Amino acid sequence: MKKEHYNIDNPLNRVFMYLYRLLSDNELKIVVAEDSLIRRIEESKNMISKSQEAEILKIEIEKRQWTNKSV
């Protein structure tokens, strides 16, 4: 879909623009500040990302511990 097909002032269109990644960085900041649904989606996405990073870090720490034990 093209950005021209959507109206950023329409809540449903904003969601589609967000999902299809049609928003510029500045538009995204504004939409996140003004639209509670998109803000919750962004917050959830960030929490998932952080939990994935924590899991990767945990795995790396466990690998180091096993390496240290084997040495």
pLDDT tens digits along 48-64:
999 999 999 999 999 99
What average pLDDT does the structure give for the chain?
91
What pLDDT is recorded for position 67? 87
What b/e readout covers 37-66, taking b as 16+ CB neighbours within 10 angstroms?
Answer: ebeeeeeeeeeeeeeeeeeeeeeeeeeeee
What pLDDT is recorded for position 68? 86
**DSSP code of 20?**
T
